[in-house]
Amino acid sequence: MQSPTHITVQGGGPLEGLVPVGGAKNSVLKLMAATLLAEGRYVLSNVPRITDVDLMSDLLRATGCTVARDGLLLVIDVPAEIEPVAPYEIVEQFRASIVVMGPMLARCGEARVALPGGDDFGPRPIDMHVRGLQELGVEFETAHGYIHARAGNLQGARVLLEFPSVGATENLLMAAVRAKGSTVIDNAAREPEIVDLCELLNKMGARIVGAGSSMLTVEGVDSPDSLHSANHTVIPDRVEAATYLCAVGITGGEITVAGARHEHMIMLCQKLGEMGMRISHDPGGIWALANRRLTSADCQSLPYPGLATDFKPFLVTLLASTAGVGIVTENLFSGRFRYVDELRRMGADIRTDSHHAIIRGVDKLSGAPVRAHDIRAGAALVIAGLGAEGETVVSDAEHIARGYDDIAGKLNGIGGKVSYR
């Protein structure tokens, strides 16, 4: 897929109408990786047309799988034998590729995975992945830019994560499916995407209990034949939904985010309500009304069910146009305020201090040329442009296409003026 390099946004009036949300990027990539566990044909539904899905498709093909798309369906045929190697030229483009390590180890007893790349917002080491898998009996060595993991026999164990890492939880889950005996993952991530992965794995014959809680128990299956292919529908993307909710907070108006699940976004909805937005669960999604200028609030990113770090760029952008002063604290990743300089170019009054951003709302942002540093920061600049005076041009927009299926078309459908070039 050829991604646009620039997105042009004309500031304008309120947003009105219904905007659909697609399948979750942060879930579908892990579901695709899980197919490596067993031979057979998998059909995934509600798969977004985004660059990262194309990259994961290429990675699966490199292992010997066949991947075909039909609209929002993705059909994956996994052969009897796979090549447990994730090559550098694919892996260096997106960080989620590291989650193939768990299923490769479970299926083949080894995995050779290039050190991952991805978004540019600070280091995200994979130490917890490694330490957790070592508890299951995996041995590691690193050379020439690759991690080589080996396990003659995976053994169930109790693994206590020092932090509820989503990626480490996912890798451990998929490896533990084939470990001998019982594995308990304590302080596990609780995100909806983890629950989605557990649902697919259980459909495939895995035995996992505790999904959605901080303790997951996996009873290893006896043989490869105990696992089989399955079909699954990807959950809606709560981060995409958050993008549109914050957009209407900036521009004003009334929208319904079709397909969004309120129960996956309770903390965000509460925070937007605190700022003055009327927001509620709708039978078809989430309804939101912003009929006046919102007021500032303090926010901090925390593991689920707290505010996701992926929501933070949208909240910083929203606070830049609210009345008052808000403080946003980043507790999860260093370096994730790099887009603030771009918002300042648009007239935002933001000061950063270590992992805090102090935002004094201005009456109106001003359109300007800006650059997307990563997926969510790029989307935040697009919605900033919707509420700004004049024209905003977001360069390096190919980052946005990694996580959004036609963001311009969806925003135009509710009254935005957004175009690709």
For residue 366 the two structure tokens come to 């001003």
DSSP string spanning 136-151? TT-EEEEETTEEEEE-
Q: How far apart are CA 224 and CA 72, in angstroms?
A: 30
Beta carbons within 8 Å of 89's beta carbon, 6+ residues apart: none
Question: Does residue 54 contact residue 35 with C-beta atoms inside 8 Å?
Answer: no
Known active-site residue 119: yes
List, as own/partner pairs, every contact residues 160-165 make where C-beta atoms lie below 8 angstroms and the sequence separation is at least 24, other chains included. Answer: 160/186, 160/187, 161/128, 161/132, 161/185, 161/186, 161/187, 161/188, 162/128, 162/187, 163/128, 163/187, 163/303, 164/188, 164/189, 164/190, 164/214, 164/303, 164/304, 165/128, 165/129, 165/189
Write down the catalytic residue from 54, 119, 196, 237: 119
Could you tell me which residues are beta bridge partners of residue 41?
A: 77
Q: Read off the DSSP letter of residue 304.
A: T
Q: Are strands 369-371 and 391-395 parallel, antiparallel or unpaired?
A: parallel
Active site amino acids: 119
